[in-house]
Amino acid sequence: MATSHQYYTLFLFFTLLFSYSLTTISVSATTKQKQRCHPSDYKVLMQIKKSLNNPYHLASWVPKTDCCEWYCLECDEKTNRVRALTIFSGEISGQIPDAIGDLPYLDNLEFRKLSNITGSIPRSITKLKKLKFVSISWLNLTGPVPDFLSELPNLEFLELNFNQFSGSIPPSFSKFTKLGALHLDRNKLTGSIPESFGHFTGTVPDLYLSHNQLTGTIPKSFGNMDFERIDLSRNKLVGDATLLFKPNGSTQILDISRNMLEFDFSKVMFPKKSLISLDINHNKIYGSIPKDIVKIQHLQMFNASYNRLCGVIPTGGDMARFDYSTYIHNNCLCGLPLKKCT
Ligand SMILES: *[C@@H]1O[C@H](CO)[C@@H](O)[C@H](O)[C@H]1NC(C)=O
Ligand SMILES: *[C@@H]1O[C@H](CO)[C@@H](O)[C@H](O)[C@H]1NC(C)=O
Ligand SMILES: *[C@@H]1O[C@H](CO)[C@@H](O)[C@H](O)[C@H]1NC(C)=O
Ligand SMILES: *[C@@H]1O[C@H](CO)[C@@H](O)[C@H](O)[C@H]1NC(C)=O
């Protein structure tokens, strides 16, 4: 018959054995993790941290630990090379480090919401031929939008919005063949929209150019392009925008509001199957609202206010969704939801 003392000894023995094996497992796990981070990536990351003045945001980037475990980055599961560097919302001052160009396996690069990062984008970024996703947004970058970004052949998404970029839009950006979206909105861009943007040869990107100071007319070449989403709002564009309306196109979202565009709205033909949102407010658009607007299958948003439109507001289809604010400040629109026509 075992005494309580014997039970206790047995209990102690197993406890020790258990904690010993736990230690062994965690030690070997750490050793294994240490081997994950590629030494060259490790060196570059330490350099990046230093160029950013060792910010608290990168406190997890501790020397001699496995970099693949650090915050703000991701290693590829197979190759263990750093494939994503995503620095977001931190108190970081300085410039985007040149050293980013020495992380050759990066496919995702994000510097976002870091308002004390100034300067421009280093040319070394063009070494990163695997880059697919670039978001350099909500920083305080200045100077021209670097046209060397067009040397990144595999880009699928490029977002440079909410910065202080000035100068004109690089025409070379039409060289992208896989780009799904281009966000250059909310900068201080001037000049006209490049003619070349009507000549994308592969994927036609969603185009976001709003909140800049773009001038001139919408390029004629846009007649060739079927943009699914296009936002040119809050610029200083003049002239005709009829060519953006393609009856057989697949445009879903079209925003040309707050420009100085001037054309006859009654001549426009809507992409009836695809159009979801149409904003033309604050321009000098004249003529009447085409009756065909009621045949748009899923029109969820429409704003024609602050123009020079006239005539009867068509009824039927989705038109009942829109209240008077869709039509205010026009020359002589009438009928529901405005006053009766006389
Ligand atoms: C930016 O820098 C200023 C001055 O150095 C500092 O006071 C401020 O806290 C910083 N802001 C952020 C978001 O890093
Ligand atoms: C960054 O931009 C914001 C908004 O434009 C501004 O208030 C701030 O002073 C800028 N910071 C720096 C460091 O330039
Ligand atoms: C749109 O497509 C239809 C049928 O494919 C065709 O008959 C029509 O001419 C096209 N309209 C325009 C303006 O291209
Ligand atoms: C249309 O735009 C005007 C001007 O910006 C705004 O006051 C109004 O609320 C908008 N209406 C709708 C339905 O979007």
To test the pocket of ligand 4, the residue of 253, 258, 300, 326 to mutate (highest count of ligand atoms within 8 Å of its CB) is 326
CATH 2.40.50.100 for domain 49-334, yes or no, is no
Dist CA 330 CA 178 (whole Å) = 41
Ligand nearest to the CA of 269: 3
- Reported as a single tens digit per residue, the pLDDT across 208-256 is 999 999 999 999 999 989 999 999 999 999 999 999 999 999 999 999 9
Strands 301-303 and 133-137: unpaired
Ligand 2 atom at minimal distance to the Cα of residue 164: 5
- Reported as a single tens digit per residue, the pLDDT across 26-84 is 444 444 445 699 999 999 999 999 999 999 999 999 999 999 999 999 999 999 999 99
Q: What is the DSSP letter of 234?
A: S
118 CB less than 6 Å from ligand 2? yes
- Domain range list for the chain: 49-334
Which residues, including other chains, have CB under 8 Å from residue 219's CB and lie 6 or more apart? Answer: 192, 193, 194, 195, 197, 198
Ligand nearest to the CA of 233: 4
Looking at ligand 1, which residue's alpha carbon is closest to its atom 4? 116
Dist CA 210 CA 101 (whole Å) = 30
pTM: 0.88
